[in-house]
Every structure is written in C-alpha cells, then in structure tokens.
Structure 1
Amino acid sequence: MRRPLYGWLVSEAVSLTGTRVSMLALPYFVLVTTDSPVRTGLVALFEMVPLIVLKVLGGPIIDRVGARRVSITCDVGSLVVVGSIPLLYDAGLLRFGALLALVALAGALRGPGDAAKSAIVPALVASAQVPMERATGLHATVERTATMLGAIIAGSLVAVVGAANALLVDAASFGLSALVLAWATASMRRPSRSSGQGADGAEEEADALPYRAQLAAGWHFLRGDRVLLGIAFMVALTNMIDAAYTSVLMPVWARTWGGGPAALGVVFAVFGGFAALGAICAATWGARLPRYATYLVTFLVCGSPRFFVLAWDNPLWAVLAIAAASGFGSGFINPILGAVIYERIPAPLVGRVSSLITALCFALMPIGPLLGGTLVSGAGLAVAMLVAGSAYFLVTMLPAVDPKWREIDRRPAPASQDLANAPAS
C-alpha cells in the first residue's frame, strides 16, 4: 500500500515549499526593516533554539504517542502562530520583541513536528515495500523541488506584497500539509500490544519506562554508534555554515551587489532545481552507488565553490553556473545519509534516536547567523564568504581521513530490514 508514502511526500512538498518561502522572506523582512545583520541573525537564533530543544525532548513522545499524531498536531499549531506574524504586522502591532516571541513559538512547534515527519519514514517504507534509498531519494527530490519553488514564490511575493505578507503562504502550507497527511495515512495503525512485537514484551516494557529513561535510552544507543555520531556532528557544522549563508550572507550579497530579493530567489531556485534533479538520480540509482565515494565527490562539488564565487562581484551567470553544479551534487547527500541513519536505528527507538540526530544536526544553526552577521559587519562580505567556504571544505572532507566512515557502504540484507514495527499513528 503506497498511498501513505506518496501522501506523505505530497504533504512534505506543501509544507517544505511554505517553509522555504519563510526562510527567504523572514530574514529579508528583518534586514530591510531594521537594517541590522545582527538583528537578522538574532531572529534566526530565537527560532532555532526552541526548535532544537523540542526536537530532543519530543523523541520519547513521538515513540509513545505516534509520529503521525505529533506531526499533524504541530502543523495545526504552526498555522496559527506563523499566520499571526503578517496579521500583526499589517495591523501595526508587531514589535521586535513580539516577533522574537512568535518565531520562538514557531520553532518550538516545528522541532517535534519535523522530527515526527522523519520518524514516520520506516513505517511508510514498510507499508509501501520499497528500498529505503528510494524513499529517502524521493523525499530529497521533494525537498529540493520545494527549495526551488519556494525561492521563486518568495522572490515574487516579497517584491509584490512585501516580505511580511509572504509569510501567509508558509502559514497556509502548514494547514494544508496537516490535512493531506491525515487523509493519506488514515489507514495506518500503530501495532497493537497483543501482536507479539518485541521479544518477551520488551516493547511494552520500554513504553512503561519513565520519560527520562526513555530519553536516555535513545542517547545511549546514539552514543554507541560512532558512524551516526559522526554524521550528526558533520551535518551540525555544515548546517551552521549554511544557516549563515542563507539567513545573512546571501541577503547581504543580494542587497550589496544589486538584484535584491528577485536575484536572491533566482539563485536559490537554480540551486533547488538542480538539487531536485540530483535527488531524482539518487532515488533511481542510489541503491547501486558506492556511498562513501559518492559522499566525498558530491561534497567537493556542492560545498565551498558556492561560497567562493560570491566573495567578489562576479557576474550573475557565473553565480548561477556554480549554483547549478552545487545543487546537482547536493541532491545525492540526503538520500545517502538518510538511508544510513534509518538502517542503523532499531525500530522501537526510531523516534528517540532520529530526533536526537536531527537535534544535533540543528544544534549549531542558531550560532551560524550570528557569526555570519558579526563577520560581515566586522570584516566585510568577501572575507565572510571566504572564511565560510574554507570551513565548509574542511568539515566535509574530514571523513576522507577517518576509515570508520567507510562503514556507510555496508547495506543490510533485505530480509534484515525489519521496519514494520515503526510507530506511525
């Protein structure tokens, strides 16, 4: 039964498109209204900190209540919170402190909501009976396509109705996403307690543990898997740099060298479009590619070059050419790393461990915009781009000298991929 998988993909397409609109519109709105890169970074900080904390704390709740319920509930809450920002601004009631409070609440809802959307994947794969890399590749395609569409929509909306009102699209996307997911996965049910899943009632005993013990169980498993920890810390560092790039460096570039939000939208759209093409290739052929070699090659292409080309006033065609190559390479990354993560986590711990991993991946993101804003203010855009690009290269190439990373090439036998126990409801 593939309706739940494809319905989830549609739900993600809607939600991610709206989120990408917000990712461009919100920082540009703060930058234009305050003329402060530091305040722009501060808004990102207030959103990301609760997002990360609630990702960690929500893991046991996802495993106990069900990923489907948590995801739908958080999306409905996000509809209300995000929609309040443009409404208050248009009414003249949005002060900077209120904006910080609203983005913090939005982050607090998005944290467990995103974690739940990730934790439901093994159950969807089991229901659809497709290879894990097919599902992660299709999701990466959706994510990259959403980046492209979101950038195009955001650039147009910001130019026509203003950055604040563009956030209404993000708010509406949460509501539509919740409706689609609720419909598509209505037939999925959490395994019953009497079904015999879990040796000697181990699953029932685990659910009876106190909340703190359940949270600790996820951390103990993650701490014992060096590959998963390595992935989490590598992605945490690159996400920090990417957060500075998206929230501060790119808006400053667009404003400094002309083009404004329209040029910003075009660059993100080209990157997202070619990333979607790369993700389609990964979904089609990813199961046959060597993961370790593919990781190294694609990060060489999609990492530092996109920073270096923006360090000077290069023509837009050069920026777009690098964006296209970088986007295509980046399309292979998430399908590879996603498949490795899901394959290494036992089904009863999917919610907790995947939440911890994504929380670690997001942990340094609040620092990125602040560092980016401080670096631009103190040393200028060119230096900031060169520093960020060099750091990106070093972080992503560290696995080249760590033999433990070669374990990502190991794929489990089909018979061993027991995903049916993953909670979905």
Structure 2
Amino acid sequence: MRRTVAGTGGIPTGRTPRPLAGVLTATAVSLTGTRISAVALPWFVLVTTGSATRTGLVAFCEMTPYVLVKAFTGPLVDRLGPRTVSWTADLVSATAAAAVPLCHALGVLSLPLLLALVAVVGAARGPGDLAKGVMVPEAADRAGVPLERATGLAGVTERLASTLGPAAGGALVAALGPMTGLVVNAACFALGSVVIALSLPRGMGGAAESAATAERTYWRRFGEGLTFLRGEPLLLTVIVMIGITNLLDAGFSSVLMPVWAERSGRGPSAIGLMGSVAGAAAVGGSLIAATAAHRLRRRVVFFTGFLLAGAPKFLVLASGAPMAAVLAVFAVGGFGAGFLNPVLGAVLFERVPRHMLGRVNALGDSLAWAGIPLGGLLAGWAVAAAGLVPMLLAWGSAYFLTTNLAGLRPEWREMDRAGTRPGHARADADEKAPATAARTGG
C-alpha cells in the first residue's frame, strides 16, 4: 500500500492520472509561453535598438530576479503549499507580461519601463516554476506512476514546450511582429494559473510541513535546506557544473543566436526552426529516458548527453555552415539534451526528503541558474568588443572544458548508485522521497 503524501492532510493518494496530467499541462503551457517570449523579446530589443549589449541587459534584468527570488522562496513553498504559490505566481507573470505590449501600443514603453516589467515577470516565474516541480512527486504518487517515469514525462513536457515555443515564436514574430509573441506569452501564463487553481484534485499541493514544523522561523527553515545541501557533495558538484553551462547557454540563446540570425540574414524564423528541431529531437531523448532510465548507467548517459548538446552548436554557427548542417547539429544536440534532466531528477528526488523539496530544490536551482543573468550580459558585451565568431568559439570551448573536466571529480561515482547514501540521515520515514526527478535551467 502506498503511503499518504505529507501535506495532503492524510488523504490517500489513490491512482488517477488527473494530478500528474494537470501539473504537466500547466508546466507545458507556461513553458511554451516562456519559449515564445525567448524569441520575441530579444528580437524586439535587437531590431529596435540595434544593440547586442541592451539585448543582454534585458535578459539580465529578467533572470536576476528569477534566480534571487527563487532562492529564497523554498521555505515559503513548503509553508503555503506549491499549489497556491504556482497559480498566484503565474497570474502575476501574466499581468506583467501583458503590460509590455500594452505599454508599447500606448507609446509609453521606454527601456527602463521594459526592464522593470521583465524583472517582475522573472521574479514571479521563479516561485511558479519551483512550485510546479515540487508537485511532481505527489502527482506521481497519486497517479501510481514511478518517479523515474514521472520525471521522464516532465522532461518530455519541457522538451515539447521547447519544440512548440520557438517554432510558434519564430512564426509569430516573422508574420505579426514581436509584440504578438509577448501577448501569447501573457495568455499562456494566465492559462497555466487557471489549470493549477481549478483542475487539480482537492487537497493536492498543500503545505508540506506540519503545524509544529511551520512554527519555526523562516530563516531556520532556510538554513536547514542550506545545511542539507552542503552535506551532499554530489549535488554540489552537479550544481557548479550546471551553473557554468547554464551561463553559456543563456548567452547563446539570448544574444549569440539572435545576433547570428540577424547578421546572417536568416531572421527570427531561423531561430524558431533551430529551437524546434532541437526540441523535437529532445522529446525523443526524453521518451527513451522515461522508459529506460532505470536500466541506463547514469554517468555515461549524462556526460554523453552534454557532449552532444554542448560545444557543437556553438561551433557550427561559427563555421558558417549551411542551414541543413546547422539543423542536423541542433537535432543531435537536442537528442542528447533530452536525457539530462531525467538523470538529474533521479539524483535529486532520491536524495532529498519530501518535506524539504521546496527549500532544497529552490537553493539548488537558484545556484545552478545563478550564471544565467550574467550569460546574456557577458555575451552582449563580448560580441560588441570582440565580434560574433570569436565569442562563439570561446563559448563552445568553455562548454567542452567545463563538462569534461567536471567529470573527473570523484563524487560522480555516486551518480550510478540508486537510493540514498549509506548512513545518510533522513527525516521521518513517511516523508522520504522514494525515487527520482529533478530539473535544471539548461
């Protein structure tokens, strides 16, 4: 018999696909909107200002609040419950995102106002993304689905959003202009809020802490999450490596790729096509991971995935290769990337107690995403100073060295060991995370 999930008030989990379908649907909708915005917003700034530096500045102003707010909202998610945090955060994101095209239509959208609005979107997205991820284990329990498979399905959902979003964004921007893409982004956030608020079963996504636990101060609960994370060398090693690759990926997607598309004359539709090809291939990788993750050697899969998904995409753009070759490289890279988050999910959810998922996941994600705000800013400055091709080569080299040198660390041996570390203390037995799932920003 399955245990009840902490925070559901003792309600049996049951076996219905509705909870997992609801969480994955809300995730898919909000991520699709975000991917559309990732094409529309940089293109809008680039073509209206002609400045790669300002394009990077906009990315910085969105992602800095994302990382900072997400880092400190873990205890809040555990205390209030991920369901409440998720629908509220998405509603705030929808409002701020809708204000961008509205202010532009009224002729009052200055650069400082745009930076302020994207900062609000980023600040709200952080807790919203965190809350949806935290609900995956409970949804898997209620659906009677192993966490390995639930994590794989979550990976498929993210990859589908990464397929549909760029394609839709590129088409919308090319046909109707970037503001249309931002309107669709706002609508997606609003729909995601409605799905979480109204479609999930009653009692799901409640507070993960008991009344006695909740009496502790916010900073004490935050410190417990930090202490736990400091005692996990494997998780810390993963976070550092992912943090560096996320910085490089952010610079690539928010600055290097739009500048390449503009200077090569291929335009925003090429950005959408490249992202969609990579996303479609990643769906295939995620589907394989969802069905076979428990039979694969994690380290081999993990580093092979990074080898395919990392440096080649930078190098192919720097080489001036024809579009067919670019798409082939992005397809191979996307396939490799599809395996990454399911493996990371296995590592996270089997090592972190269920009642601490909010605060530990928030800290881990925020540290892994800490370089993302700087990625766009540094890439914009570097392109302006040294040119596009040298920066593509430098970024690709840094990616290759980071992922390969990190693999030499001894902590990686623990990745292939299922379950928790021997002797590693846990909280109440009823609050253990029985298996797998996690996400990174990459």
**Normalised TM-score (structure 1):** 0.93
- Given candidates 384, 387, 394, the residue that maps to 1:380 is 387
- Given candidates 234, 245, 253, the residue that maps to 1:227 is 234
Which amino acid in the other structure matches residue 326 of structure 1?
G
Shift of 1:399: 3.5
Shift of 1:206: 2.7
Shift of 1:191: 7.2
Matches within 5 A, 1:213-224: 213-224=220-231
Which amino acid in the other structure matches residue 106 of structure 2?
A
Contact 1:343–1:417 (Cα < 8 Å) also in 2: no
Contact 1:28–1:251 (Cα < 8 Å) also in 2: yes
**What residue number does 1:333 align with?**
340
**What residue number does 1:252 align with?**
259
**What residue number does 2:294 align with?**
287
Change (3 A) 1:373 1:70: same
**What residue number does 1:23 align with?**
38
Contact 1:134–1:283 (Cα < 8 Å) also in 2: yes
SS at match of 2:372: coil
Change (3 A) 1:192 1:263: closer
- Given candidates 87, 91, 113, the residue that maps to 1:98 is 113
Which amino acid in the other structure matches residue 315 of structure 1?
P
Identity %: 46
* Aligned counterparts of 2:281 and 2:332: Cα–Cα separation in 1: 7
Which amino acid in the other structure matches residue 184 of structure 1?
S
Matches within 5 A, 1:303-318: 303-318=310-325
Contact 1:303–1:392 (Cα < 8 Å) also in 2: yes
Contact 1:125–1:419 (Cα < 8 Å) also in 2: no
| Alpha-carbon displacement from aligned partner over 1:322-358 (angstroms, at most 9, x marks no partner) | 0010000100001110121111111111100001111
**What residue number does 1:174 align with?**
189
* Aligned counterparts of 1:177 and 1:342: Cα–Cα separation in 2: 24
**What residue number does 2:327 align with?**
320
Shift of 1:2: 2.0
Shift of 1:370: 1.2
Contact 1:275–1:329 (Cα < 8 Å) also in 2: yes
* Aligned counterparts of 1:101 and 1:227: Cα–Cα separation in 2: 37
* Aligned counterparts of 2:380 and 2:180: Cα–Cα separation in 1: 25
- Given candidates 33, 39, 54, the residue that maps to 2:54 is 39
Shift of 1:362: 1.1
Contact 2:43–2:258 (Cα < 8 Å) also in 1: yes
Bigger share in helix: 1
Contact 1:218–1:349 (Cα < 8 Å) also in 2: yes
**What residue number does 1:343 align with?**
350
| Alpha-carbon displacement from aligned partner over 1:196-230 (angstroms, at most 9, x marks no partner) | xx9xxxx5443211111111111110111111111
Q: Does 1:112 align with 2:127?
A: yes
SS at match of 2:350: helix
| Alpha-carbon displacement from aligned partner over 1:121-178 (angstroms, at most 9, x marks no partner) | 2211221222222111111111111111111111111012211221011100011111
Shift of 1:182: 2.3
SS at match of 1:63: helix
Q: Does 1:243 align with 2:250?
A: yes
**What residue number does 1:423 align with?**
none
Contact 1:37–1:248 (Cα < 8 Å) also in 2: yes
SS at match of 1:344: coil
* Aligned counterparts of 1:102 and 1:191: Cα–Cα separation in 2: 30
Matches within 5 A, 1:292-303: 292-303=299-310
**What residue number does 1:402 align with?**
409
* Aligned counterparts of 1:137 and 1:419: Cα–Cα separation in 2: 16
**What residue number does 2:136 align with?**
121
Contiguous gaps of at least 5 residues in structure 1: 421-425
* Aligned counterparts of 1:188 and 1:168: Cα–Cα separation in 2: 33
Change (3 A) 1:182 1:15: same
Change (3 A) 1:190 1:256: closer
SS at match of 1:186: coil
| Alpha-carbon displacement from aligned partner over 1:224-247 (angstroms, at most 9, x marks no partner) | 111111111111111100000000
Shift of 1:416: 9.3
| Alpha-carbon displacement from aligned partner over 1:265-307 (angstroms, at most 9, x marks no partner) | 1111101110111111111111111101111111111110111
Q: What is the number of equivalent residue pairs in this alignment?
A: 411
SS at match of 1:309: helix
- Given candidates 58, 63, 85, the residue that maps to 2:73 is 58
**Normalised TM-score (structure 2):** 0.90
| Alpha-carbon displacement from aligned partner over 1:69-97 (angstroms, at most 9, x marks no partner) | 10011011111110110111011110111
**What residue number does 2:169 align with?**
154
* Aligned counterparts of 1:331 and 1:286: Cα–Cα separation in 2: 11
* Aligned counterparts of 2:119 and 2:166: Cα–Cα separation in 1: 23
SS at match of 1:244: helix
Which amino acid in the other structure matches residue 351 of structure 1?
G
* Aligned counterparts of 1:136 and 1:272: Cα–Cα separation in 2: 17
**What residue number does 2:373 align with?**
366
Shift of 1:397: 1.5
Contact 2:81–2:207 (Cα < 8 Å) also in 1: no
* Aligned counterparts of 2:129 and 2:152: Cα–Cα separation in 1: 17
Contact 1:123–1:419 (Cα < 8 Å) also in 2: no
Contact 2:83–2:204 (Cα < 8 Å) also in 1: no
Contact 1:302–1:326 (Cα < 8 Å) also in 2: yes
Q: What RMSD in Å do the two structures reach over aligned CA positions?
A: 1.8
* Aligned counterparts of 1:273 and 1:416: Cα–Cα separation in 2: 38
* Aligned counterparts of 1:303 and 1:209: Cα–Cα separation in 2: 43
| Alpha-carbon displacement from aligned partner over 1:19-71 (angstroms, at most 9, x marks no partner) | 10001111111111110011001111111111111101111110000011100
Which amino acid in the other structure matches residue 253 of structure 1?
W
Which amino acid in the other structure matches residue 351 of structure 2?
R
